[in-house]
């Protein structure tokens, strides 16, 4: 079974600075998807970024980028120019690309605080 590990329960960063959230995963599959979801106090899960394992290029979405290291099974999220609205719980998630696989496996989450 696949597992996702987020080793940082809490992180904090000064507004406008850069922060990196860590995520590692364990799988024997070669094709899969990785995601970062954000859950602000409103508790709605919002997709931040998505990475296909077969793509070597790291995904980016505006101030959010990932460092995907397939061999090391590492998938970290970098937030540049942190803003107060980035404060949230961040979940790393794994999903198999096998036909019929529908389960999204989440890590335990990292609570990010932005200091003004």
34 vs 1, 52, 103, CA distance in Å? 15, 7, 12
Among 55, 101, 113, 115, binds another protein (CB under 8 A): 101
Q: Binding to another protein by residue 30, rule CB under 8 A?
A: no
Q: Residue 47, interface with another protein (CB under 8 A)?
A: yes
In this chain, which of 22, 33, 58, 80 binds another protein, going by CB under 8 A?
33
Query: Is the distance from CB of 36 to CB of 89 less than 8 angstroms?
Result: no
Residue 4 contacts residue 10 (beta carbons within 8 Å): no
Residue placing its CB nearer to another protein in the complex, 9 or 14: 9
Tell me whether residue 44 is exposed, middle or buried, using C-beta atoms within 10 angstroms of its C-beta: 0 to 12, 13 to 18, 19 or more.
exposed
- Rounded to a whole number of angstroms, the minimum distance from the CB of residue 83 to another protein is 21
For binding to another protein (CB under 8 A), which residues are involved? 33, 35, 37, 42-47, 50, 91, 95, 97, 99-104, 106-109
């Amino acid at each position: 079974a696949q597992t996702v590990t987020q080793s940082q329960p809490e992180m904090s960063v000064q507004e406008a600075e850069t922060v990196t959230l860590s995520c590692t995963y364990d799988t024997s599959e070669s094709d899969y998807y990785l995601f970062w979801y954000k859950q602000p106090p409103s508790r709605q899960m919002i997709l931040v970024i998505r990475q296909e394992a077969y793509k070597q290029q790291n995904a980016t979405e505006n101030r959010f980028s990932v460092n995907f290291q397939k061999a090391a099974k590492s998938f970290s999220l970098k937030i540049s120019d942190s803003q107060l609205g980035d404060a949230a719980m961040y979940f790393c998630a794994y999903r198999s690309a096998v036909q019929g696989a529908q389960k999204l496996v989440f890590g335990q989450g990292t609570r990010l605080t932005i200091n003004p």
